[in-house]
Chain A
C-alpha cells in the first residue's frame, strides 16, 4: 500500500477510535462516584483519552510532516 493510502486508512481508523472513546457507552463506564486523589475518574478518563487520541493523530502524521 502506498504511504499516503496507508495514512488515509489509519486516519479513518483513528476517527472510529475517537467515536468509540467519546460517543459510545464507554465514557459512561467511568461515570462512577469514585475518584483518584479526589479527582473524579470521569474527568481523568476524558482528558486522558483526549490526549491519547491527539497523540495517535500526531503519530500517524508525524512521518509526513516536512
Chain B
C-alpha cells in the first residue's frame, strides 16, 4: 500500500543514492580520474534540459494542442547542428578566460563590466524563478496525488493552506539543503562540480527509463500498441482536434522552435553543464547527436499517453499534466506509480540543483561581490574571505528557492506547467543578441549590450510577466484587456496593434526587436574602447590558431608573492599556492619564486581569480595589487596591429625561405650537371687525343724507320707501309666521326633521300664486315623476310648504323664461340632491325647511358675500344629518320641492339 511515509522514504533513498554518486564522482576527480570526461556522460548531463515540464507537462500540452509540445524538442535538435561552431567557440573562450557563468561571459565580453554582469544576473533570477516554481509545483502535486492512492483526487489550490502546512514549502527547504550539499562544499577555481554532473547524468537515465516504462505500460499493456491507441482515440473523436494547428498556427510553431533552440544554450543550467562543466571540446561531437536522440526517445510515448488519458478520464476531471501518474494508479499499478513519481522527482530535482547553483554563482560574483568591493574601497581584503564567499553562495541558494516558492504560492496555480516554462524561455532568450553577436562581431560595446538587455527585459516584463500576474489575479485584468490607462495600442499582448499571434510569439518578436535594435543602435554610437576591443579580439578570434593570449594585453608589474597572497584570500591559501606551483611547473621553473613578475604571470593570477569571483571583480582586485598602467585604445590597437604585422611578416619570410630552398636545389642540380659535363668533356678530350696519338705515333714511328733504314727488306717495307696506310685510315675515320657527330648535332649535316631496300642494305653491310667476323672466328646469321622492305631515307647513313652495330657486336662476342644474328621484321612502328650477340652482356645500370656521347661499354675490356661515338651517331641518324633505337641485355646473356624505322605512308 502506498502511504505518505513510504513515498517519503523512497524519495530520501533516491536522493541519498544521487548524493552517493556525486560523492564518488568527486573523490574520483580529486584523484585525477574524472568520471565525467566521457562524451556520453556529457550528453546525458545536457538532458537536464528535460525537467518536470517534459515529464508531466508535455502530456498535458499534447492533450490540449496535439503536437504542439514538439517544437520544444525539435528546436534544440536543429540547433544542435550549429553547436559545432557556436558552442565550440563558447567552450573555447570560457576555458581560456575561466568564465564561470552566463553573467560572467557577457560581462567579460564587453570589457569586464560589473554593471552588465549585474543586469544579466537580475534578468536570469527574475526569469528563472517561475521555472523553479514549476518544479516545486510538480513535486508537491505529484506527491499529493500519489498518497491519495487508490483514489484519484486532484489536489486543492495551494494557497488555501498556511505556509507551514504546505508540503511545497518543505520540498523547497529540502531542495535548498540538497543543493548546498551538492554545490558548495568548497570553492573551486574553475567552478566545476564533478559530482553534480555525475548525479545529473544518472538522473537523466532514471527519468528516461521511468517515462519509457510508463509509455510501454500504457501503449502495450493497456492497449494493443500504437495502432490500437490511435484507433480508439479516433473513434472517440480525440485525434482530429489534436492535429489542427494551435492558436497562432505556424508562427507559433516557428517561434517555439527558435525559443527552444536558444534556451538549450542560454538557460543558466544549460550553460553550466554545456560550457562551464565541459571537460573538453571533443565531448561536443557525440553530444550533437546523442542529446537529440535522448529528446526523441523521451517524447515517443507522449502522444499515446495523452490519448490514453483522455480515453480513460473523459470530461477533463483529471488534469492532463498528471496522466503519467494517474494512469498507472487507476489500474492498480502501485509500484509503477511510485517509480513514475521517483522519475518526476528526478527530473525536478535535477533542474533545481543545477539551475540554483548557476544562479547563486552569478548572484555571488556579479551582485554581491561588486557591492563588497565598493565597501572595501576597491582594495583587497586583509584576511581570508573564501569562507565568506561560500556563505554568500549558500544564502543565495536559499533565497532563490524561497523566491521560487513564493512565486508558486502566489501565481503558480493559474497556469498549466508548460506555459510557465515558456515565460522563462523568453526571458533567457534576451541574452542571445549580446552573446551570439558578441562572438562574431567586434563592434559591440558595453553600453550597447546594456541597452539591448534592458530593452528586451523591459518588453518581456511588460508583455509576458505582468500579464501572467494579471491572470493570477494580482493585477486587474483590465490592464491586459484594454491596455494601461485604457490606451489600446499599448495592450501588453497586442502591442501596437499586432494581434493574431499567441502571447509567446508576440513577446518574442517585440522583445528581440527591441533588444537587437537597441544593441545595434547604441553600439554604433561610438567605437569600442580599449577594454572592449581587447575582449572582443579574445572572444571573436578564439578559434583562430594564432589568437592572442590574454597576457599580451597587460602592462604592469607585480610582486609574485602579493599575487599569491591575493588569490589565496579568495580561494584559500592552499589552493592558491597549488595553482601557482602547477603554473610554474608548466613553464619549466622549479618553484613559484622563479616566476617572473611580468604581464603573463599577472594575467594568470587574474584568470585564476576570475574563477572564484567573476572576471570583472578579478580585474579590479588584481589591478589594485599591481602597478597597472592601463592601456589606452591607441596602444591596444598598436598591439593588435603589431601582432597582425608580425604574422604577415613571418608569413612572407616563410614564403621567401621556401623559394630560396627551391632555387638552391635547382642550382645544385645544375652545378652537378655542369661538373659532369666537364668531366665528360675531359674524358672525351683525353680519349680522343689518346686515340689520335696512337695511330699518329705508329705512323711516325714506322715512317721514321722507313726513312732511317733505306735498305730495308721489301717485305718488311711493304708491311710497314701497309700499317702506315691503315693507321692513317683509322685516324681519318676518327676525325670524320667527330666531325660527323658535330655536324649532325648542329643540324648542318646533309641528308639524302632515296629509295632504300633494307634487306639489301643489311646484306651488304654483313658482306663488308665479313673480315672482322672471320678474324674473331665468329659466326653471323641473317634473318630476312622474303618481301622487300622498302623505305625512303639516306642509304649511306643507314649503312653507317648497321655497320656500327655489327662492328660493336663483333667486338664483344667471345673468341671462337661468338654468334651474331641480324634480323629484319615487320613491327607496328614500321620495320624492326635487331642485331643480337652472345657476348658478356651489358649491366643494367649502363643500359641507359651507352647511347650517350663518349660513353664506352666496358664489356670486360680494360681499355676502351673505339671512340664511344658510334652509338650516339647511330642514334642521331635513326631519330632523324623518325625511328627509335635501343638495347636489351642482361649480364652474361648477350645483348640485342634494335632499331625501328617508320614505313613510308
Contacts and interface: CB of A to CB of B under 8 A. Distances in A.
Given A40-B239, A46-B70, A57 B288 contact: yes
B85 interface: yes
B243 interface: yes
Candidate in A18, A35, A37 with the most chain B CB atoms within 10 angstroms: A18
B82 interface: yes
Candidate in A15, A42, A50 with the most chain B CB atoms within 10 angstroms: A50
A50 B77 contact: yes
Interface string A24-38: 010010010101011
B193 to A, nearest CB: 25
Contact of A39 (B70, B80, B230, B250): B230
A15 B81 contact: yes
A53 B82 contact: no
Interface in B251-275: 253-254, 257
Contact of B296 (A11, A31, A51): A51
Contacts of A61: 285-286, 288-289
Nearest to A15: B81
Given A23-B257, A38-B231, A40-B239, A54 B292 contact: yes
A65 B39 contact: yes
A37 B286 contact: no
Given A22-B74, A23-B253, A61-B286, A38 B234 contact: yes
Contacts of B285: 61, 64-65
A31 B243 contact: yes
By secondary structure, the A interface counts as helix
B33 interface: no
A48 B464 CA distance: 34
Nearest to B242: A40
B509 interface: no
Contacts of A23: 78, 253-254, 257
A42 B239 CA distance: 12
A14 B81 contact: yes
A63 to B, nearest CB: 10
B243 A40 contact: yes
B303 interface: yes
B179 to A, nearest CB: 33
A46 B302 CA distance: 13
Nearest to B85: A8
B755 interface: no
B718 to A, nearest CB: 88
A47 B292 contact: no
A42 B289 contact: no
B289 A58 contact: yes
Candidate in A11, A40, A42, A47 with the most chain B CB atoms within 10 angstroms: A40
B527 interface: no
A65 B81 CA distance: 16
Contact of A22 (B230, B240, B257, B303): B257
A36 to B, nearest CB: 9
Contacts of A47: 296, 300
A18 B80 CA distance: 10
A54 B74 CA distance: 11
A22 B292 contact: no
Given A40-B243, A57-B292, A15 B77 contact: no
B296 A57 contact: no
Contacts of B335: none
B227 interface: yes
B84 A39 contact: no
Interface in B14-68: 39, 67
Nearest to A19: B78
Interface residues of B, number: 37
B585 interface: no
A19 B297 CA distance: 21
Contacts of A11: 81-82, 84-85, 288
A54 B77 contact: yes
A58 B231 CA distance: 34
B243 to A, nearest CB: 5
B81 A57 contact: yes
Contact of B230 (A7, A15, A40): A40
B282 interface: yes
Contacts of A19: 78
A22 B240 CA distance: 21
A56 to B, nearest CB: 8
A32 to B, nearest CB: 9
Contacts of A64: 285
B85 A53 contact: no
B226 interface: yes
Contacts of B226: 39
B508 to A, nearest CB: 14
Interface string B278-315: 00001001101100110010001001000000000000
B77 A53 contact: yes
Contacts of A40: 230, 239, 243
Nearest to B249: A28
B286 A15 contact: no
Contacts of A38: 227-228, 230-231, 234
Contact of B74 (A14, A39, A50): A50
B78 A15 contact: yes
A4 to B, nearest CB: 9
A55 to B, nearest CB: 8
B498 to A, nearest CB: 21
A60 to B, nearest CB: 8
Candidate in A7, A19, A53, A64 with the most chain B CB atoms within 10 angstroms: A53
A52 to B, nearest CB: 11
A54 B39 contact: no
A47 to B, nearest CB: 7
B239 A54 contact: no
A33 B643 CA distance: 64
Contacts of A66: 282
Nearest to A13: B81
Nearest to A7: B84
Contacts of B79: 15
Contact of B293 (A8, A35, A39, A54): A54
Given A23-B254, A46-B70, A61-B289, A37 B227 contact: yes
B67 A42 contact: yes
Given A7-B84, A40-B230, A18 B39 contact: no
Given A18-B77, A54-B293, A42 B243 contact: yes
Nearest to B70: A46
Contacts of B303: 43
Contacts of B39: 65
Contacts of B82: 11-12, 15
Nearest to A49: B74
Given A18-B81, A22-B74, A23-B257, A53 B292 contact: yes
Contact of A57 (B67, B282, B289): B289
Candidate in B79, B84, B227, B230 with the most chain A CB atoms within 10 angstroms: B84
A64 to B, nearest CB: 5
Contacts of A65: 39, 285-286
A39 B257 CA distance: 24
A33 B71 CA distance: 21
B59 to A, nearest CB: 15
A58 B296 CA distance: 14
A2 B369 CA distance: 46
Nearest to B294: A54
10 contacts: A15-B78, A22-B74, A22-B257, A38-B231, A42-B243, A43-B243, A57-B288, A58-B289, A61-B285, A66-B282
Interface of B: 39, 67, 70-71, 74, 77-82, 84-85, 226-228, 230-231, 234, 239-240, 243, 245, 250, 253-254, 257, 282, 285-286, 288-289, 292-293, 296, 300, 303
Given A12-B82, A57-B288, 15 more contacts: A8-B84, A11-B288, A14-B81, A15-B78, A23-B257, A31-B245, A38-B227, A38-B234, A39-B226, A40-B239, A42-B243, A43-B303, A54-B292, A58-B293, A66-B282
- 5 nearest interchain CB pairs? A18-B78, A15-B81, A57-B289, A38-B231, A58-B289
